[in-house]
């Protein structure tokens, strides 16, 4: 088999969208599975649609997802340049070849003329097709018009009738009638190529063997296939991946919330969870395999004929669920690496001291990871490990601090904890168990108020793990604060909080 060469060819019109990311992923899987090459090409000839910075954003997102292209921006390669805006000569020369062989022609029709024609056809209720007015101009007429300085477009000459059959690796044979296709423009009046033309010239020049892209381009494929034929190029294999729809089955757009890779990153998703999720959006793993799988597994098992012909429906809850699974099983070092920016952003960790507190940060992450689904949730769940407790959960306060015995019980807990020399989960748990037994009370009577005292919350990782991480001194301080709070709870709430923050100031 010839070498597999596939490409991902984004237009720099914004962030990397999940649809684009999925296309990139499928190309990457296919390249890696076949020991082929993935080429990254930036389709930036449509200056009106280009957004500044978007190339950088797209490259960052691809790298963050772990998609490593072999040729393209930042990598080089023999088929460069990899920005279409720098390849103009190639398109001009291919267009000339077509004009010379009579397979393309200059069209001098003015925009106004075309507009009027469009309107006329609209009123007749037919889809617009260029009326081919310039198709049969004689060389002399063309020469004259060029001399007059009119800037023409170049149009390809399509057959009047017959069919073009596209052989799609996912959809099988798809036929298109020529009488429904237009003599489409290949070079615009500004000298730049249209997408359909640049794409063919580049896919040929870059020796692309398989064009794997979004379904929305299926309707462009007959035009491109005709162009390959007209230029005498070898036609690559095509595979069009079905659309991704919003949960309401409409076209996925901004109004459906986060749809770009960078937004998911911001929300606290892990790259592997996103790649796993996107892989599932349109491809099913072998039956015996679970829905959670690594890139290596996908590279082994991926096949284009298992890619779905029907649209995939995007489900953010599934992505978040998957992310939670990854948060739980992820390598702790890697999780800490991804979590750190979130801890810094929440003001919990200082960039300069993060290294010194490495072990502490890891023990906190290890304790809370099971309880959260995103890195953002993780940062929120960690707060009391890094900051003083300045408030208590309202319901918790009602339930656990308003009981008559709470104050006395917490005083007893404090005494027991103060006596512990080696302050670890085993010893703190033993101290609590002993106390429960001695007092003949239900464990919850001291466990819940202690949790509220130490964390300000009613839910946390295992209480004795929390104690171990916080350490003896912090635990005693927080119990003192809670005991004081219960005592003065009759006082005005604002006043109590004011005093609490001054207590906290004294601690630090």
Residues contributing to the site for ligand GLU (CB under 6 A):
9-11, 43, 199, 213, 217
Q: What would the two tokens of residue 239 be?
A: 């595979």
| In the complex, minimum distance from the CB of residue 48 to ligand GLU, in angstroms, rounded to a whole number | 14
Residues 11-48 as b/e (b if ≥16 CB within 10 A, e otherwise) read bbebbbbbbbbbbbbbbbbbbbebebbbbbbbbbbbee
Q: Which helix (H) or strand (E) holds 116?
A: helix 111-124
Choose the catalytic residue: 115, 251, 254, 309: 254
490 is catalytic: no
| In the complex, minimum distance from the CB of residue 9 to ligand GLU, in angstroms, rounded to a whole number | 4
Q: d(Cα 470, Cα 424) in Å, to the nearest integer? A: 10
Asked if residues 373 and 269 have their Cβ atoms less than 8 Å apart, the reply is no
Backbone phi, psi, residue 465, to 5°: -70, -40
Backbone phi, psi, residue 244, to 5°: -110, 120
How far is the CA of 375 from the CAs of 324, 381, 469, in angstroms?
A: 9, 10, 20
In the bound state with ligand GLU, the residue whose beta carbon lies nearer, of 201 and 348, is 201
* 3-class SS of residue 260: strand
E strands, 292-438, are 312-313
In the bound state with ligand GLU, the residue whose beta carbon lies nearer, of 157 and 213, is 213
Q: What would the two tokens of residue 419 be?
A: 């006596």
| In the complex, minimum distance from the CB of residue 11 to ligand GLU, in angstroms, rounded to a whole number | 4
DSSP secondary-structure letter at 314?
-
Q: What would the two tokens of residue 125 be?
A: 């209720």
Q: d(Cα 5, Cα 205) in Å, to the nearest integer? A: 12
| In the complex, minimum distance from the CB of residue 241 to ligand GLU, in angstroms, rounded to a whole number | 10
CB proximity list for 424: less than 8 A, separation 6 or greater: 468
In the bound state with ligand GLU, the residue whose beta carbon lies nearer, of 18 and 349, is 18
| In the complex, minimum distance from the CB of residue 176 to ligand GLU, in angstroms, rounded to a whole number | 17
In the bound state with ligand GLU, the residue whose beta carbon lies nearer, of 9 and 104, is 9
Q: State the Cα torsion 42-43-49-50 to the nearest 10°.
A: 30
In the bound state with ligand GLU, the residue whose beta carbon lies nearer, of 213 and 397, is 213
Q: d(Cα 468, Cα 147) in Å, to the nearest integer? A: 86
In the bound state with ligand GLU, the residue whose beta carbon lies nearer, of 281 and 339, is 281
| In the complex, minimum distance from the CB of residue 153 to ligand GLU, in angstroms, rounded to a whole number | 20
CB proximity list for 326: less than 8 A, separation 6 or greater: 270, 272, 273, 276, 292
In the bound state with ligand GLU, the residue whose beta carbon lies nearer, of 52 and 359, is 52
| In the complex, minimum distance from the CB of residue 45 to ligand GLU, in angstroms, rounded to a whole number | 9
Q: What would the two tokens of residue 498 be?
A: 């004011």
Residues belonging to the active site: 254
């Amino acid at each position: 088999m010839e070498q597999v060469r596939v490409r991902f060819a984004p237009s720099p019109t914004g962030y990397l969208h999940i649809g684009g990311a999925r296309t990139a992923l499928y190309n990457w899987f296919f390249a890696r599975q076949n020991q082929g090459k993935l080429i990254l090409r930036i389709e930036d000839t449509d200056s009106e649609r280009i957004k500044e910075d978007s190339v950088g954003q797209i490259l960052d997102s691809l790298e963050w997802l772990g998609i490593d292209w072999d040729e393209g921006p930042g990598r080089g390669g023999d088929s460069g340049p990899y920005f279409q805006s720098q390849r103009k000569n190639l398109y001009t020369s291919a267009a000339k070849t077509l004009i010379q062989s009579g397979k393309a022609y200059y069209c001098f029709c003015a925009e106004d003329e075309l507009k009027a024609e469009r309107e006329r056809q609209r009123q007749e209720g037919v889809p617009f097709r260029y009326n081919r007015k310039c198709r049969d101009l004689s060389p002399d007429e063309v020469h004259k018009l060029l001399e007059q300085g009119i800037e023409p477009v170049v149009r390809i000459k399509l057959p009047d009738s017959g069919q073009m059959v596209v052989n799609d690796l996912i959809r099988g044979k798809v036929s298109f009638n020529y009488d429904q296709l237009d003599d489409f423009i290949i070079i615009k009046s500004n000298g730049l190529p249209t997408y359909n033309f640049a794409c063919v010239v580049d896919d040929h020049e870059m020796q692309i063997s398989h064009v794997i892209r979004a379904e929305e381009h299926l309707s462009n494929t007959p035009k491109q296939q005709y162009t390959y034929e007209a230029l005498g190029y070898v036609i690559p294999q095509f595979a069009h991946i079905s659309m991704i729809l919003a949960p309401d089955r409409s076209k996925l757009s901004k109004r459906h919330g986060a749809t770009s890779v960078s937004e998911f990153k911001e929300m606290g998703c892990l790259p592997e969870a996103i790649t796993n999720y996107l892989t599932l959006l349109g491809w099913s793993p072998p039956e015996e395999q679970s829905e959670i799988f690594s890139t290596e597994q996908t590279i082994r098992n991926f096949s284009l004929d298992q890619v779905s012909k029907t649209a995939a429906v995007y489900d953010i809850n599934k992505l978040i669920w998957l992310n939670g699974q990854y948060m739980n099983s992820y390598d702790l070092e890697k999780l800490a690496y991804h979590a750190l920016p979130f801890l810094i952003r929440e003001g919990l960790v200082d960039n300069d001291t993060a290294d010194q507190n490495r072990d502490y940060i890891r023990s906190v992450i290890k304790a809370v990871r099971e309880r959260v689904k995103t890195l953002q949730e993780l940062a929120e769940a960690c707060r009391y490990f890094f900051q003083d407790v300045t408030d208590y959960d309202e319901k918790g306060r009602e339930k656990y601090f308003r009981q008559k015995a709470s104050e006395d019980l917490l005083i007893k807990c404090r005494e027991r904890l103060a006596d512990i020399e080696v302050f670890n989960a085993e010893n703190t748990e033993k101290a609590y168990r002993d106390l429960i037994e001695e007092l003949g009370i239900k464990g919850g009577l001291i466990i819940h108020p202690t949790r509220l005292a130490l964390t300000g919350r009613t839910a946390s990782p295992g209480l004795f793990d929390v104690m171990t991480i916080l350490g003896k001194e912090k635990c005693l301080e927080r119990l003192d604060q809670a005991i004081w709070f219960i005592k003065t709870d009759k006082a005005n709430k604002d006043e109590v909080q004011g005093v609490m923050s001054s207590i906290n100031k004294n601690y630090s």
